[in-house]
Amino acid sequence: MTLLVRTLLATAAFASLAPAAFANEISPWTPAAGAGEAEISYTSQQADEFNPGDAQAPLPRELSQDNVSLSLSYGISQRLAADIKVGYAKSSFLTDPVLAPQGGLDGLTDIHVGLRYMVLDQVDGAPLTVTLGIAGIIDGGYRTGALSAIGDGGSGGQIGIAIGRNIGPFTISGHTGFRTRSNNVPNEIFGGTNISVSPISGVSLYGGLSYVNSTSGIDIGGPGFSPARFPEVEEDYKIWSLGASAVLTGRASANLGYGKKFDGRNTARSEFFRVGLGYSF
C-alpha cells in the first residue's frame, strides 16, 4: 500500500487507542518513517478504599493524585519506532503513620524510553499487526515509603509484545509483557486488550481491560511490613476503561477516558478520569 494509506491507518489507530493507556500499554501500530505522534494528557484519580493484602477496607480520607504527562513516538523506519514518556504527579492525602507518614507527595514520574519493532504489518497483507517492544525505566527521584507515593522508586526495564487488527470500523488489540526494576520492587507481568469502533469518520469509541500482576512481594500490614518497605509490596490490580476520541483537525485529536481499578491486592481502589490532546507530524 502507499505511504499515505499507511500513515492514515497508523494515525487513526493512535487516535483511537491512546486514551486507554492507563497502565503503560504497548501499541502494535508505529508511526510511518519520518513521522511522529505526540500527546499531552492530564489524569485525575481518586480512591476512598484500598486493599491491604487481598482484603478491602475504607481509607481514613480520600486519596487523590493528579498527573500531567507527555508521550512522544517517532518512526525511525517503516517498522521501527522510538518512544518516550515523561510526566509530573502530585498526590493529596492525610498524614498517617502507617499509610502515609509524609502525607501527600509529588515529583517527576518514572521516565520510559523505548523502541518498538513491527514484525508483521496488516497493511502489507499480514493477517495481524504484531510488534515487539523494549523500554528502559528511569526512576523519577520522588520520595517513596507511602501509599500516596507516585511510584515505586525503581529503575529497570520491560519487554512486551502487542497484536492488533483493523476490521472495517473496528480495531482490536492486545498486549502482554514483563517488567523488572531495582530497589527491591517486585517483578511484574502486565497486559490488556482493547476494542474500538468508529461510528462516524473521525470519531472513535473504545473499551478495554488491563492488568498488572506482581510475581512476589509483601502485604500491607503483613509480616515484616513497614512504611519504608512500600516499594516491596506485591501490588496486583485490574482496570476497566471506556472512552472516546475525535479528530479536531487533520493532525490534532482529543481523547477522553474513564477507568476504574477492581480485583486488587495492596493497591488503592482508584477511579481515573483522563483527557488528552494528540498531534501527528
- Residue 14 confidence (pLDDT): 42
Confidence band of 141 (pLDDT split at 50, 70, 90): very high
Confidence band of 206 (pLDDT split at 50, 70, 90): very high
Structural domains in the chain (count) = 1
Beta bridge pairs of residue 167:
170
Alpha-carbon span 53 to 220, nearest angstrom: 6
Residue owning grid cell 512481594: 217
Residue 31's Cβ-side half-sphere holds a number of Cα atoms within 13 Å equal to: 20
**Does residue 5 carry a pLDDT above 90?**
no
What is the average per-residue pLDDT within 109-119?
Answer: 97
- Residue 138 confidence (pLDDT): 97
Mean pLDDT over all residues of the chain? 91
Confidence band of 250 (pLDDT split at 50, 70, 90): confident
From the list 27, 10, 20, the residue with the least C-alpha distance to 41 is 20
Q: In this prediction, what percent of the chain has a pLDDT beyond 90? A: 89
What is the average per-residue pLDDT within 66-87?
Answer: 97
- Residue 25 confidence (pLDDT): 80
Cell of 264: 486488587
Cell of 102: 509524609
What is the average per-residue pLDDT within 138-147?
Answer: 94
Beta bridge pairs of residue 138:
111
Residue 226's Cβ-side half-sphere holds a number of Cα atoms within 13 Å equal to: 2
**Does residue 4 carry a pLDDT above 90?**
no
* CATH classification at residue 31: 2.40.160.40
* Whether 192 contacts 209, CB under 8 Å: yes
Which tens digits make up the pLDDT trace of 6-19?
444 444 444 333 33
* Whether 75 contacts 83, CB under 8 Å: no
Q: In this prediction, what percent of the chain has a pLDDT beyond 70? A: 91
**Does residue 130 carry a pLDDT above 70?**
yes
Q: Which domain holds residue 70?
A: 3-280
- Residue 249 confidence (pLDDT): 87
What is the average per-residue pLDDT within 232-236?
Answer: 97
Q: Which of 19-23, 97-101, 142-146, 167-171 has the lowest mean pLDDT?
A: 19-23
- Residue 7 confidence (pLDDT): 40
When computed from its CA atoms, the radius of gyration of the chain, rounded to whole angstroms, is 19
Q: Where are the alpha helices (DSSP H) in the chain?
A: 3-17
- Residue 42 confidence (pLDDT): 97
- 3-state class (DSSP) for residue 82: strand
